[in-house]
Amino acid sequence: MPEPTPTPKGARLSIGALSRATGIPVETLRTWESRYGFPVPERRTSGHRVYALATVPRLRRIAEALARGHRARQVVPASEADLQQLLNADAAPAPAATVVSPAPAAEPSALLGLVESFESDRLTHALLRAWVRLGPLEFLEAEVAPLLRAVGEAWESGRLEVGHEHFLSERLGDVLRSLRLAIEERAGGPLVVLATLPGEAHGLGLQMAALVIASAGCRVLYLGTETPVADIVSLTRKHGGRALALSISASSRKPRTATLVRRVRKALPRRTALIVGGEGAPPSGPGVQVFADLRRLDAWARQTARI
């Protein structure tokens, strides 16, 4: 258990202000306090809980460790020395070949029930708890992906309506975006531009890829869905993107998509990597890297962040 943060004279933060200062959701801070005894609150005479300003740097280091793939149960209770040792170890070059077994998929029935009943707050809190428990990659593989498959299957069977799919897309998009924005503030690696091609309206795959890339330490320029090719290329050039990442869903028209990918590759500088992912991604071609899953994308992003 970490030693309680010293209580200096001066400013105190509400839990909302602490969340804004560290990029860690309020629900996550409350979960850590209950489960691991940190952060440690003080009580005002009014009964409101406040936190010493000195809590902020440690929480930021914890968030950095989580972004690098460590588990909350490993880093939140850690001593300052152990936490710093973890961060220093991550800064060292990775072994040439590292095999990581995917986490087993979680049973999505509970989350599916929250989607079915349109319970926004409970769904958000459940997703954030999973994020804290699992870390970025396992959160996406073991919680988000199974939930998306379950909702798709329930819609095909007639159990759910299209409104349920839209509800989940918007809610999950909000959660992924908030998690990424908190991480982006600390990312200092090369810039990766993310977009979907014209006609590609599905954005969750792009959001998931952006979260993986930011968690690996790369900076992100997120252009969103259905971006004109000319804008994708010009913005990548203008901002000096080390790479451009395109997300392509299974609903894309493959011949047209392959043509657009070739156009983008031809217009980009040679030094700019073009990476493509998603169920509708065309086969790899000259100057185009195709990643079949998030783990390969994560490995690429971590290597890129060290360059």
Can you spell out the DSSP letters for the chain? -PPPPP--SS-EE-HHHHHHHHT--HHHHHHHHHHH--SPPEE-TTS-EEEETTHHHHHHHHHHHHHTT--HHHHSSS-HHHHHHHHHHHHSPPPS----PPPPPPP-HHHHHHHHTT-HHHHHHHHHHHHHHH-HHHHIIIIIHHHHHHHHHHHHTTSS-HHHHHHHHHHHHHHHHHHHHHHHTT--S-EEEEE--TT----HHHHHHHHHHHHTT-EEEEEESS--HHHHHHHHHHTT-SEEEEE--TTS-HHHHHHHHHHHHHHS-TTSEEEEESTTPPPP-TTEEEESSHHHHHHHHHHHHH-
Question: Are 32 and 2 spatial neighbours (Cβ–Cβ below 8 Å)?
Answer: no
Peptide bond into 283 cis (omega under 30): no
Reported as a single tens digit per residue, the pLDDT across 154-200 is 888 888 999 999 999 999 999 999 888 878 877 789 999 999 999 99
Would the pLDDT of 1 be above 80? no
For residues 191-220, give the mean pLDDT. Answer: 94
Most confidently modeled range among 30-44, 109-123, 228-242: 228-242
Residue 290's DSSP bridge partners are: 276
Would the pLDDT of 143 be above 60? yes
Q: What percent of the chain has pLDDT over 90?
A: 42
Would the pLDDT of 243 be above 50? yes
Measured from the Cβ of residue 193, the count of other Cβ atoms closer than 10 Å reads 26
Reported as a single tens digit per residue, the pLDDT across 41-62 is 888 877 788 888 888 888 888 8
Measured from the Cβ of residue 42, the count of other Cβ atoms closer than 10 Å reads 11
Say what the pTM is.
0.68
Lowest mean pLDDT among 10-14, 199-203, 214-218, 278-282: 10-14
Would the pLDDT of 116 be above 70? yes
Domains and CATH numbers, the chain: 12-91 (1.10.1660.10), 94-185 (1.10.1240.10), 187-307 (3.40.50.280)
Measured from the Cβ of residue 166, the count of other Cβ atoms closer than 10 Å reads 10
